[in-house]
Chains A and B, each alone.
Chain A
Amino acid sequence: MSSVDAPVADASRRPFRGRRLRLGDVLLQGVAGAAALGATVLLGLIAWKVVDGARPSLSKFGLGFITRIAWNPVPGHEIYGAASFLFGTAITSLVALLIAAPLAMGIALFLTELSPRLIRGPVTALVETLAAIPSVVIGLWGIIVLGPQLRLHVEPWLHKAFGFIPLFGTPSSSGASVFTAIVVLTIMILPIVSSITRELFLGVPHDLKEGALALGATRWEMTRGVVFPYARGGIAAALILGLGRAVGEAIAVTQVIGGGLLVSWNLFSTGDTLASKIANEYQSATSRLQSASLIYLALILLVFSLVMNVAAQVIVRRVSRRMGIGVSR
């Protein structure tokens, strides 16, 4: 956002001393300021409301909720815990990021260094269009097209070839599994990470790159030695933003992950993430404690996303200040 650093001519912003205040000026500044205040306060309001909604569960289970593997809504035996869903969120988002990161950087490299100029524009637009597809449509495609394909072809092969690794255990019986969710999440975060990385790579100064090439480096050596280190901070921010997106995705994941308490390392089993559990169960929640526990899950999700977002924004701002360019998403 270059607007953050663009120098504004101070003459038009310095208060006019001795000039009487016009009602219109006061009004506009007041109303606009109120809007800005409201936007900031909104964040605090969100945090407050979510804590408020989770209160019954917070007071009953406290922090032990976070480490307990349990989810039993049967009245009289109600007990809830987030650990299984934390595990689900961690395994789906991290593996998706692991797969998407090199692919995204490859795409960014392709679009900045390797591709012929003519196709650069259209291919960039196509990758960004992938980001525009709503998650519910990707989820629909995931249930009906991707899931069965994975179940019929990919999972048995992986199990046969790599079954000794606990990750690739018994293939799923329907298309719904953590594995399908991972593929879906990878598809969803790929465009975000690649578009940020692409802009970062575009911002690397030409003389640095050409200097390396002039010294005899191959293109890969130049990329590894100049582009990556220069863009290091921004790439970290891009990865964090992608991770944040994956962690927060509820709809597409709940459509393809199958549901249940995830307690195994087998990627082909079903399970739930924090977000998908909320989406799955909210409308059928029977007791106040169950609803409050679901909101407790949302609270954990909110804390995660706040921390990740603030970290990513701080990195982005520090990086763009250092490089003097705007990184816009």
Chain B
Amino acid sequence: MEAFATFAAVIAVGILVVVVWSVARRGAGALNLDLLTKDPVDFAFGNVKEGLANAFAGTIVLVGLATAMTLPVGILVAIYLNEFARASVRTGVSLALDVLNGVPAIVIGIFVFGLFVVGHGQSGFAGSFALACLMLPLVSRATMEILALVPNSLREASLALGVPRWRTTLSVVLPQTIGGIVTGTTLAVARVAGETAPLLFTSSIVGLRTSWNPHHALQSIPVAIFELSEQPDPADHARAWAAALVLLLFILFASLGARWLATRGRRKLTQR
């Protein structure tokens, strides 16, 4: 049994190493400044080559907008659930959020398609909204957990001094949670930066030029990787690996960084 358990752990780490190594080796070869800064160029007959700047710009806009959409809503939901709601409401809404977390990304894509794209065409806003739906459960759960860690003595002291409830929540409790919120949001961003399926329906019919305007569809890194991976040309595969390397580096850096910050922040908060 012990041999099997060790073997299983070795396999898991081994797979991770193999995948990351593949991406690193093949991606590094094709990664150059041109890829990041030049747009794809159509050399006629559908032969599209050169860079992926439109994808990198698009992802920044899409994820940025999604974060801007999710953050206020997620924090407000967490505040309501933690500070105001009855236990039954809290359980119900938490359950709804956890179930929302489990809805497949492709179904979310179809949902946003039906909601915003039908009749209006694809847009960066629709894509960001889809990503925001994916981020919401993560951000609100993280905020709820960190809000629960803030000691009640802090709230009670503030209230005892005559500070109104709303002021207590916003000026006394919330600043304590900023670290946790940043961590939760970073993890949500890391998760969503790599999502392809929702963007396929909402922001995938794109031009070749880099655009920062979310009113029409924007190319994104995961969709670019997806499309390039289905091509037969090895040059396209090389660009896919390079984009995957950048994406992976960003996600790993964000995830590990966020988790390290989280342990540090939690330790600081509970040591009070």
Contacts and interface: CB of A to CB of B under 8 A. Distances in A.
A129 B16 CA distance: 8
Nearest to B230: A255
Given A298-B107, A310-B99, 6 more contacts: A1-B94, A3-B82, A36-B81, A135-B194, A190-B12, A305-B103
B200 A305 contact: no
A137 B194 contact: yes
Q: By CB atoms of chain B within 10 A, which of A4, A115, A145 has the most?
A: A4
A279 to B, nearest CB: 6
A187 B11 CA distance: 10
B111 A45 contact: yes
Contacts of A312: 102
Q: By CB atoms of chain B within 10 A, which of A4, A13, A35 has the most?
A: A35
Given A6-B148, A28-B165, A39-B140, A250 B105 contact: yes
A328 to B, nearest CB: 7
A106 B194 contact: no
Nearest to B169: A28
Closest 7 CB pairs of A and B: A134-B194, A248-B104, A106-B8, A32-B80, A3-B148, A309-B102, A35-B76
Interface of B: 1-2, 4-9, 11-13, 15-16, 19-20, 22-23, 26, 72-73, 76-77, 79-85, 89-108, 110-111, 113-115, 133, 136, 140-141, 144-145, 147-148, 152, 155-156, 159, 164-167, 169-170, 190-191, 193-197, 200-201, 204-205, 222, 225-226, 229-230, 237, 240-241, 244, 247-248, 251-252, 255-256, 259
A35 B244 contact: no
A132 B255 contact: yes
Contact of A33 (B23, B84, B99): B84
Interface stretch (A48-56, A151-159, A161-169): A48-56
Nearest to A103: B8
24 contacts: A1-B144, A12-B155, A13-B83, A36-B81, A38-B73, A39-B136, A46-B133, A106-B4, A106-B9, A107-B8, A110-B8, A114-B5, A132-B255, A135-B194, A136-B226, A140-B244, A144-B26, A255-B226, A255-B229, A275-B197, A279-B197, A298-B107, A301-B104, A317-B91
A107 B200 contact: no
Interface residues of A, number: 98
A210 B141 CA distance: 35
B259 A250 contact: no
Nearest to B195: A134
Q: By CB atoms of chain A within 10 A, which of B22, B107, B170 has the most?
A: B107
A32 B90 CA distance: 13
Contacts of B100: 39, 42-43, 46
A327 to B, nearest CB: 11
Interface in A104-146: 104-107, 109-111, 113-115, 123, 125-130, 132-141, 143-145
A217 B202 CA distance: 58
